[in-house]
Structures are given as structure tokens and as C-alpha cells.
Structure 1
Amino acid sequence: MSVIVCLATCPDNATAIRLGEVLVEQRLAACVNIVPGVRSVYRWEGRVTVDDEVVLIIKTTAARLDALTEQVRQLHPYAVPALVALPIAGGLPEYLQWIEAGTAPGTHDAFAEP
């Protein structure tokens, strides 16, 4: 199975919702969870920075990763958006199939809900 999870951060809920909706509408992701209230500590331009951010948990497939990455690059307000992809070792087979169906271009939803 080629199902993966991507993690990304956004500066606010509005950006996260807009990005999540585009990714799902374009079938680049089957589901995007939006997790507000994250505090990030990182080094940027030579100094340590602390910011409140929103995390996206993006369920997709390896086949859609390049297009998803390009869409994040185009829509994200950060100069260098945080986006990483992680393999999924396992899970409920029906859910993993739902993710694959939800990201396949030109297909209909396999299930009424995840």
C-alpha cells in the first residue's frame, strides 16, 4: 500500500482550512485534520523564534505527494513551508483503502464517511 501521512504547519486557522479544503477538493488528500494551538520553536534567519501555529495531518498516497507538495508551495504564505511525509506501517485496511480511493483522480467516494 502506498498510503502516507504528511505533516505541515500553518500560521493560522484560516490558512489551514483553505489549504485543507483545496487539497481534498483536488483529491491530493483524502482527509486533512487541522490541529490548532501548537507552539513551534525553531531557528529562522539566525535566531530562535517561537510562534503559535496550526498543524495539518494530511492523509494521502505516495503517488499524490509531488502534486500535493507543489500545491502547498503555491498556496502557503511561508517562504519555506514545513511539510514532511511519513510512511504508514499499517492500519485498518478499509480506512487505508478509503484514503487510496479518495486520492485517485476521477473516482467516486468508496464510502459515505471515513
Structure 2
Amino acid sequence: MGPDDVAAFEFCQVMTTVSTRADAEALARSAVEDRLAPCAQVEGPITSTFWWDGAVQVEEEWRVVFKTPSDRYAALAQHILDHHAYDVPEIISLPILAGTPDYLDWMRTETRPR
């Protein structure tokens, strides 16, 4: 499933992880300031266990969760790539199946140029 397949749903939740709270907060703020997502939430610390460089790694990370219209996914994913310190950052998108009409309208409005 590629970036074009995200458009099957009008809204999505996009997640990434970073190594510090400061990086998470900066990424969240820059994406919202650039109107790529109407909001971003920082969660953490979390413990991530993963394969990297041929070995199991265990690291403390911070998760950033963005909610956005699916037509903003490609630009948001590129923004994350451009501002991320990892060689291969996690950038995953999950569809939002339903939401209150006022909240969904707010998401549409706040991700459009002013």
C-alpha cells in the first residue's frame, strides 16, 4: 500500500517515533505550523525493541501521532522524512473510520492554506 492508497479514507492517523522529547515536540509543532496536520500528540517515553544493524536494539523513544485528512498524508510524510534524524524513520498511517462531524470539519479547515 503506497501513499496513493491512503486516499481510500478521507482522514488518517499518522505515527512516527523519535529519540527525544525535544525532537518529538519540534516535529509536532513544525507539522502543525505548516498546516500538514491540525494537531499532533506526543506520547512517551516508550520502549521500542527492534532489529537494526543485525542485532536486537532496545531504545527509549517518543511517539508523535498526527491526525490529518488523507490528502495531506504525502506532504506530511515528506515533512517527517525531511525533519527526522533516523535513517529509516517509522512513518505509518492508519485510516480514521469515523469521527464527529465538527471534529472532522475542523481537521479539513485547519489543514488548508489561510
Q: What is the TM-score normalised by the length of structure 2?
A: 0.89
Give the distance between the partners of 1:49 and 1:105, measured in 2 at CA: 41
- CA distance in structure 1 between the aligned counterparts of 2:70 and 2:113, rounded to whole angstroms: 14
Number of residue pairs aligned between Structure 1 and Structure 2 = 106
After TM superposition, give the deviation of residue 105 of structure 1 in Å: 2.1
Alignment of 1:41 onto 2:72: no
Q: Does 1:27 align with 2:41?
A: no
> Structure 2, unaligned stretches of length 5 or more?
1-8
CA deviation map 1:6-45 (0-9, x unaligned): 0110111110011111100000010000001110011111
How is 1:45-64 mapped onto 2 (pairs within 5 angstroms)? 45-64=53-72
2-side partners of 1:46 and 1:22: how far apart? 33
**Separation in 2, partners of 1:102, 1:2:** 15
Match of 1:18 in 2: 26
Q: Percent same amino acid among aligned pairs?
A: 33
Over the residues paired in the alignment, what is the CA RMSD in angstroms? 1.0
Could you list the structure 1 runs, at least 4 aligned residues long, displaced by more than 3 angstroms after superposition. none
